[in-house]
Amino acid sequence: MIDTRPSSSPSPGPSQGPSSGPTPSPSQGPSSEPTPPEKPRRRLLAYIPLILVGALSGLFAVSLFQGDPQTLPSARIGKAVLPFSVPRLQSDERLTETDLATGTPILLNVWASWCGPCRDEHPFLAALQAQGVEIIGLNYKDKPDAARRFLQRLGDPYSKIGVDASGRVAIDLGVYGVPETFILDAQGRVLDRHVGPLDEAAINQKIGTYFNLRPEGFASSQPND
């Protein structure tokens, strides 16, 4: 039997010299093979911010598409419209935030001639005007000539129209897209909003409550061009 215990007085020999000993195995000491580079781990760490951004973007998209934009409140509710000054569509004057404080509640309707739903809601705007509701228009990122042709064909329910060529006024209002309608009080503060085209339900259930309009069938009373 071979004694594996170390000798108390080792003698130099071919099996014990530092230069002739066996090559240690990877598990026997610091002279083992080099530690594998940590590149895969570093690559993974580099991807973590991208993964987090993607996850947050996904959550935001899900919350956006699950929510009904017609029920989302405007950031301007209870506040006055931010100061602005834009050209008017039908005159050389300008439309400013002071024009929205008329002394009575009004509607501020954001629209464009290239917007299909704006065409769909136009008869309802005409019906509201016929009921005595003042409507100020904000023409959004449109060509003035195209906007004028649109009104010539379908009628002009607006008392004034501002040209928001850059979309800056709409952005300050928190507009999601056209059409969108804001209900303003006598001092020009935002009371409520409606996202999307106005229809009979929106007028009877929301708009009409601010203007003391009696429920009626607006769709049947107004032809759609």
CA distances from 31 to 39, 129, 194 (A): 22, 91, 75
**CA neighbor of 135 nearest in space, from 165, 156, 166:** 156
Paired tokens of 62? 């899900």
- Answer yes or no: are the C-beta atoms of 150 and 67 closer than 8 Å: no
Question: Does residue 196 lie in a domain region?
Answer: yes
Whichever domain contains 134, its CATH number is 3.40.30.10
Question: Does residue 208 lie in a domain region?
Answer: yes
- Answer yes or no: are the C-beta atoms of 94 and 87 closer than 8 Å: yes
Question: Does residue 54 lie in a domain region?
Answer: no
pLDDT 10s digits, 9-49: 444 454 444 444 444 444 454 555 555 555 666 666 666 77
Question: Using CA atoms, how far apart are residues 21 and 162, in angstroms rounded to an integer?
Answer: 93
Question: Using CA atoms, how far apart are residues 181 and 169, in angstroms rounded to an integer?
Answer: 13
Q: 0.85 exceeded by the pTM?
A: no
Question: Using CA atoms, how far apart are residues 26 and 48, in angstroms rounded to an integer?
Answer: 33
Question: Using CA atoms, how far apart are residues 105 and 134, in angstroms rounded to an integer?
Answer: 8
- The residues, any chain, with a CB within 8 Å of residue 11's CB and separated by 6 or more, are none
Paired tokens of 128? 């509201």
* Domain range for 85: 70-221
**H helices of 102-207, where?**
116-130, 144-154, 168-173, 200-202
Question: Does residue 42 lie in a domain region?
Answer: no
pLDDT 10s digits, 84-129: 999 999 999 999 999 999 999 999 999 999 999 999 999 999 999 9
Question: Does residue 183 lie in a domain region?
Answer: yes
Question: Using CA atoms, how far apart are residues 100 and 80, in angstroms rounded to an integer?
Answer: 9
Question: Does residue 20 lie in a domain region?
Answer: no
Please give the tally of structural domains in the chain: 1
pLDDT for residue 36: 57
Question: Does residue 169 lie in a domain region?
Answer: yes
pLDDT 10s digits, 116-164: 999 999 999 999 999 999 999 999 999 999 999 999 999 999 999 999 9
Output the furthest CA–CA distance in the chain (Å, rounded): 117
Per residue in 175-191, is it b (16+ CB within 10 Å) or e — as a string? Answer: bbebbbbbbbbeebbbe
Question: Does residue 6 lie in a domain region?
Answer: no
